[in-house]
Amino acid sequence: MLRQSRKKTALALFGSAVFVALGVWMITDSSTDSSRYSPEIVVLIGWCAVLLFGAFGLKGLYNLARPMQVVLSPEGFQVLGLRRLPPVRWQDVERFFMGQVKRSKFICYDLKAETMSNFQRAMDMVRPGQWGDGQLPGALEMKPDDVLQLFDDWHRRYGA
């Protein structure tokens, strides 16, 4: 079982709190003439920051209490979190690969063509993207390279 890192979650939660505080400051101190934007725009941006980063913060609080988990078994793997995703069988996976956005790495997977349509219906997915047919949660307790190696090993062992 792999868990989401509480340390990384707490860091993201701190970042959300900073942006919520900045949004509140923009809302409450919008009457100054020092901004090149109208006070109404500043208040609108402040509310957007509070709502957006407040939602991220609430999810971060939930993830601190109940970190996302990836459960591995000889049959397959399942992601458990706020929303329980359907299990993925090893033999349904075509390959695992590393996705990257700037410095953030995450594990992606492609499903075999014959199982994709059933999985899409179960996941309510509209389309596979450049990051494959699915992704594992980021910020796990293991490094992404080690997670990829682990999943490749399990896939070789149980996917045949």
Report the pLDDT value the prediction gives residue 6, as an integer from 0 to 100: 85
Are residues 103 and 149 both part of a single domain?
A: yes
Are residues 114 and 143 both part of a single domain?
A: yes
In this prediction the pTM is: 0.69
- Of 79 and 18, the one with more pLDDT: 18
| pLDDT > 70? residue 34 | no
Range of the structural domain that residue 145 is part of: 69-158
| pLDDT > 50? residue 144 | yes
Report the pLDDT value the prediction gives residue 151, as an integer from 0 to 100: 93
Q: Which two tokens stand for residue 92?
A: 């349904």
Are residues 33 and 101 both part of a single domain?
A: no
Report the pLDDT value the prediction gives residue 126, as an integer from 0 to 100: 41
End-to-end CA distance of the chain: 22
| pLDDT > 90? residue 23 | yes
Using CB atoms within 10 A of its CB, is residue 82 exposed (0-12), middle (13-18) or buried (19+)? exposed
